[in-house]
Amino acid sequence: MPGFSFQLHKTDGKARLGEIATAHGVVRTPAFMPVGTQAAVKAMRPDEVRALGTDIVLANTYHLMLRPGAERIGSVGGLHRFMNWPHPLLTDSGGFQVMSLSPLRKVNANGVTFRSHLDGAMVALTPERAMEIQDLLGADIAMQLDECVKLPASRAEVERAMRLSLSWAERSKRAFEHVVDRAPFGIVQGGTEPELRLESARALIDISFPGYAIGGLAVGESQEVMLAMLDVVTPVLPQNNPRYLMGVGTPEDLLEAVSRGIDMFDCVLPTRNGRHGVAFTRFGAINLKNGRHADDPRPLDPESRCAAAREYSRAYLHHLVKANEILAAMLLSAVNVSYYQELMDGMRIAVAAGRFEDFREETRALWAQGDLPTLT
């Protein structure tokens, strides 16, 4: 596909090092995509997101189609220009948000009709319309429309949604075939049923997508179950196509999923936790609401690449969080996005050096050790 390609440079066990080429630049994999729900990574400027090591951002089709509207964004030059992010963009199809935000919805073979959470208007979304919206936005990677079911769910319900998603996958790919320099991804569904996951993956491979996502996880199941599904699916996915685990997750989730052959991730966790006073560091999560930080002059991590983690005291960050200052969300979101990108960079370096398992154990040991010792 012109303008889009994936090159697998090296493997270390199942962990993979590669690059996705797009019309807007290269994405180094394994890659973490900060989530720009409303065409903005919350509490962060685009240039700051980039400076912290981000190659690609995810934007939310569901929210942008409702406000300000895909046609409006298209008319002003597309999403890259609209949000001042001239780098790679991936857009989801809206399937997950329809499930999570719109309890009043009707699904049939043609598509889904749902009630907008903004104004109550009824909105119709078909595979063709989902891809048209993502084309108008100008996404470098566009996701097929799928139906995501909340777990736990019955096998019958999971199978119904998986088969519907497969029929929508064919229509989604067909609707995007006229678009040059950009790529549609298929989404493996099947809940926590190994046989259904395998059937979905193999059917999508037959359709032949440039990339494959694993969806319908991190929706109520345990980490153990999620990882078990990756153990089922990733061995059958093509080696020379990127693999994307949607909506995941914690730093531990990322480390474990990369060890199982995943290349791409997105999650709201870094910025959401930052807005709620929690910082991610190489020593694990630090809750700055905790009173033990009130008199602590040390930074979060003097070795972090992020200035917010190096140059502000824990006492000051604690004060900002307790005072509900906007600056707290800004600084801690930067700390967290930086840590996620440092973790991905560490994994890429480790795979390149053939020492991924050593890196994995060293990282887990630091998390187990916990935060820096308190002041004496």
Contact 79, 64 (CB under 8 A): yes
Task: Give the separation between CA 348 and CA 98, rounded to whole angstroms.
Answer: 34
Give the pair of three-digit tokens for residue 96: 């997950």
Task: Provide the token pair at 236.
Answer: 């059958």
Active-site annotation holder among 55, 140, 253, 266: 266
Buried b / exposed e over 131-144, threshold 16 CB at 10 Å, is bbbbbbbbbbbbbb
Closest listed residue to residue 94, CA positions, set 142, 50, 48, 55:
142
Instruction: Count CB-CB contacts under 10 A for residue 67.
Output: 12
Catalytic residue list contains 266: yes
Q: Are 31 and 264 in contact (CB under 8 A)?
A: yes
**Cβ proximity of 237 and 243 under 8 Å:** yes
Nearest to 157, CA basis, from 149, 165, 145: 149
Please pick, among 12, 92, 146, 301, the residue that the annotation labels catalytic: 92
| Strands 15-22, 5-12: pairing kind | antiparallel
Residue 21 phi, psi dihedral angles, 5° rounding:
-95, 130
Q: How far apart are CA 54 and CA 49, in angstroms?
A: 6
| The token pair that represents 333 in the structure block | 């979101």
Q: Closest by alpha carbon to 217, among 228, 207, 208?
A: 228
Question: How many other C-beta atoms lie within 10 A of the C-beta of residue 284?
Answer: 15
List the beta strands (DSSP E) in the chain: 5-12, 15-22, 25-29, 31-36, 57-59, 89-91, 105-107, 112-115, 122-125, 141-143, 183-188, 211-214, 243-245, 264-267, 278-281, 284-287
Please give the positions annotated as active site.
92, 266
